[in-house]
Amino acid sequence: MSGLELLLIGLAALIGSAVTAIAGLGGGILLLSVLLQFLTPLEAIPVHAVIQLASNSFRAFILRKDVDWAIVGRFSLLLLPSGVAGLAVAGAFPVTLGSIFIAAFALLMVWWPRGLEKISLILGGGKQSFFSLGALAGFLNIPFGVTGPAVAPVFRRELPVRTAMVATFAMAQTAGHLAKISVFVGDGFAYSDRLDLICIGVVSVMVGTWIGTKILRHLSEELFSHVFRIGLTVIALRVIISAVFA
């Protein structure tokens, strides 16, 4: 890759990680959309997983006192086996249609609270719903790369305190990216071929995460709720529009 391309990806990683630290989500989709301008989906998704692993794990470390480990444990339990299942059928999924579905589901959940309650009950209710949610996220993560917008509303519903939501969601996403990377390594993806890109991405997301976390600590709960809802809406609409005109 050229120096300019690496610079653009590094900038997207920095901005995206800062946005995620402030709003709780969003940076992953921004980074993936930029990576897809220079890499094929089969290269972009594995590389994205490593960079996002660094972003989420660093954010979880900074906010480690706010992590709800009971939720993380439930969410993580079925990530790996469901990821293997997702890899086995990945070729059967139309990526564009799947992206639209994930984005539309996210919009429905964030703007229809009663629907979110019903989905939570279908998944098991309360913290028990995170077993099923993790299995679903692990399965869809492989063919589509990003499922954060679809599962984030459930985390927000169960974790009304902003730092707890951001910290716990970051730790859950860390587990999800670890499972995803394990699946890709097992499938033979050569990460060594993209070490320069990965190193630049990792450094960028750590800087962006540090900046965004500083801002998060100064947000009120009400403002965070507005930022979360508006951010998720913008991200979902962008995914739908990009998929339709792809």
- Digitized pLDDT (tens) for each residue of the chain, 246 residues in all: 677 888 888 888 898 888 888 877 667 777 877 887 888 877 888 898 899 899 999 999 999 999 999 999 999 998 888 888 877 776 666 667 767 777 777 777 677 666 666 666 666 667 788 888 888 888 877 766 667 777 888 888 888 888 999 999 999 989 888 888 888 888 888 888 888 899 999 999 999 999 988 888 888 888 888 887 887 788 778 778 877 776
Q: Residues 85, 224: contact at Cβ < 8 Å?
A: no
Residue-level pLDDT at 95: 66
Residue-level pLDDT at 125: 66
What predicted TM-score, i.e. pTM, was given to this entire model?
Answer: 0.79
Residue-level pLDDT at 118: 63
Residue-level pLDDT at 51: 92
Q: What is the DSSP string of the chain?
A: --HHHHHHHHHHHHHHHHHHHHHSS-HHHHHHHHHTTTS-HHHHHHHHHHHHHHHHHHHHHHTGGG--HHHHHHHHTTHHHHHHHHHHTGGGS-HHHHHHHHHHHHHHHHH-HHHHHHHHHHHTSGGGHHHHHHHHHHHHHHHHS--HHHHHHHHHHH--SHHHHHHHHHHHHHHHHHHHHHHHHHTT--GGGGHHHHHHHHHHHHHHHHHHHHHHTT--HHHHHHHHHHHHHHHHHHHHHHHHT-
Residue-level pLDDT at 132: 85
